[in-house]
């Protein structure tokens, strides 16, 4: 992302520098390396999952229902005889799509609102601040449930609901970060160089608040995945039979009492691993974005 801010005259060399910096950050911290590897695996599965899975995730086969994990069905089969492994893999795409679009949406809107209220202060700040407080006043998951229930039970509405409940965090981080830099010398210097307020915010202040925002993004991604899965779990949003971790856990939960643990365990583990990966990724992303870490 920082590459975009570079002068556009030496794209190749700045890309190379970017790559070198990435390798440095990763080699510096093995946890970051692990997180990036995990993330890379998830992204790979999200893109190519449907082509690499051994079974059709939607094809039911009642003759082989509720089989425990075996060499043929690594994660076992569910009550309709569908392969749990294939379903867990294919679900990655849907879950990541929901999480990414929701976080991207709240990141963009939140940082714009936060920058404006942090930079201008006064009434802008009061209006934005109080609106955001209103969102925060609700229990967030209940608010998301309400939004999906009101707007209709679709995947898009899950994205909107997740975006809305995450908005306050981005707005607040962006506001605070812009506010402390508003009086900095480099902002005055940029004004002297003839930058308008809009330019100053976009090209001078905004890039400087990216590192803390990135940490927020990463933590939030895990949270958004949980949120989407949670909504599906209680029957909102994604509907069966489409493979999705939340629904799979919900469906599998009924079978745990009867001993078929694999139905809920594997999608739950995938969910956990994804959240874990995003939480670890935060620090690495910050190091990557922060120019102070460049050598």
Partner 1 sequence: MTDTSDIPLLAIKDLTVEFKTRSGVVEALHEVGFEVHKREMVGVVGESGSGKSVTAYTVMGILDRAGRATGGSANFGGFEMIGARERDLRELRGREASMIFQSPRTALNPIRKVGAQIEDVLLQHTQVHHRDVKQKAIDLLAQVRILRPEQRYHAYPYELSGGMCQRVMIAIALACEPALLIADEPTTGLDVTTQKATMDIVRDLTSARNMAAILITHDLGLAARYCQRIVVMQSGEVVESAPTDVLFSDPQHPYTKKLIQATPRPDSRLEDLSDVAKDDERVSAATASTELEVEGEAPPLLEVRGLVKEYPLHETAERRRVMDRILRPNLTPSPSVFRAVDAIDFVVGSGESVGLVGESGCGKSTTSSMVTRLLDPTEGTILFDGEDIGAIPARKFARHPLRAAIQMVFQDPTESLNPRFSAFDAIAEPLRRLGAPMDRTSLAHTIEELATMVGLPTELLTRFPHQLSGGQKARVGIARAIALRPKLLILDEPTSALDVSVQAVVLLLLDRLRRELGMTYIFVSHDLNVVRLLCDRVIVMNEGRIVETGKASELLTNPKEDYTRALVEAIPHFGQSEGMPTLEGSVA
Q: Residue from 27, 70, 134, 196 that binds partner 1 (CB under 8 A)?
A: 196
Cα–Cα distance, 61 to 51 (Å, whole number): 20
Contacts of residue 183, defined as CB under 8 A and 6 or more positions apart, other chains included, come to none
- Which CB sits closer to partner 1, 17 or 66? 17
- Which CB sits closer to partner 1, 137 or 184? 184
Residue 77 is classified by DSSP as B
- Which CB sits closer to partner 1, 50 or 207? 207
- Which CB sits closer to partner 1, 148 or 190? 190
Signed CA dihedral, 133, 124, 203, 181: sign only: negative
CB-CB contact of 244 with 95 (8 Å): yes
Asked whether position 294 contacts partner 1 by CB under 8 A, the answer is yes
Asked whether position 215 contacts partner 1 by CB under 8 A, the answer is no
Please report how many Cα atoms fall inside a 13 Å half-sphere around the Cα of residue 78, on the Cβ side: 28
Cα–Cα distance, 214 to 90 (Å, whole number): 27
Min dist CB 33 to partner 1, Å, is 17
Asked whether position 204 contacts partner 1 by CB under 8 A, the answer is yes
- Which CB sits closer to partner 1, 133 or 188? 188
Asked whether position 194 contacts partner 1 by CB under 8 A, the answer is yes
CB-CB contact of 58 with 241 (8 Å): yes
Asked whether position 191 contacts partner 1 by CB under 8 A, the answer is yes
Applying CB under 8 A, the residues found at the interface with partner 1 are: 2, 5, 7, 9, 184-186, 188-197, 199, 204, 207-208, 291-292, 294-295
């Amino acid at each position: 992302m920082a590459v975009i801010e570079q002068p556009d005259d030496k794209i190749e060399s700045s890309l190379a520098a970017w790559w070198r910096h990435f390798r440095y950050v990763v080699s510096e911290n093995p946890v970051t390396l692990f997180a990036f590897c995990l993330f890379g695996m998830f992204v790979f599965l999200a893109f190519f999952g449907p082509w690499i899975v051994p079974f059709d995730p939607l094809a039911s086969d009642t003759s082989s229902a509720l089989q425990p994990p075996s060499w043929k069905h690594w994660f076992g089969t569910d009550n309709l005889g569908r392969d749990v492994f294939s379903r867990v893999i294919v679900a990655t795409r849907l879950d990541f799509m929901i999480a990414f679009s929701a976080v991207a949406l709240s990141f963009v809107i939140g940082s714009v609102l936060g920058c404006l209220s942090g930079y201008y202060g006064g009434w802008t700040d009061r209006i934005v601040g109080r609106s955001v407080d209103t969102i925060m006043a609700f229990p967030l998951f209940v608010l998301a449930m309400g939004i999906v229930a009101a707007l209709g039970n679709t995947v898009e509405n899950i994205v909107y609901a997740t975006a809305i409940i995450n908005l306050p965090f981005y707005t607040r981080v962006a506001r605070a970060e812009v506010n402390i830099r508003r009086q900095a010398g480099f902002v005055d210097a940029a004004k002297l160089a003839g930058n308008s307020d809009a330019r100053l915010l976009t090209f001078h202040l905004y890039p400087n608040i990216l590192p803390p925002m990135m940490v927020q993004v990463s933590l939030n991604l895990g949270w958004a995945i949980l949120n989407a899965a949670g909504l599906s779990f209680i029957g909102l949003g994604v509907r069966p039979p489409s493979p999705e971790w939340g629904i799979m856990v919900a469906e599998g939960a009924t079978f745990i009492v009867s001993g078929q643990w694999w139905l809920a365990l594997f999608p739950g583990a995938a969910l956990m691993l994804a959240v874990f990966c995003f939480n670890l990724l935060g620090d690495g992303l910050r190091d990557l974005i922060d120019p102070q870490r460049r050598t």
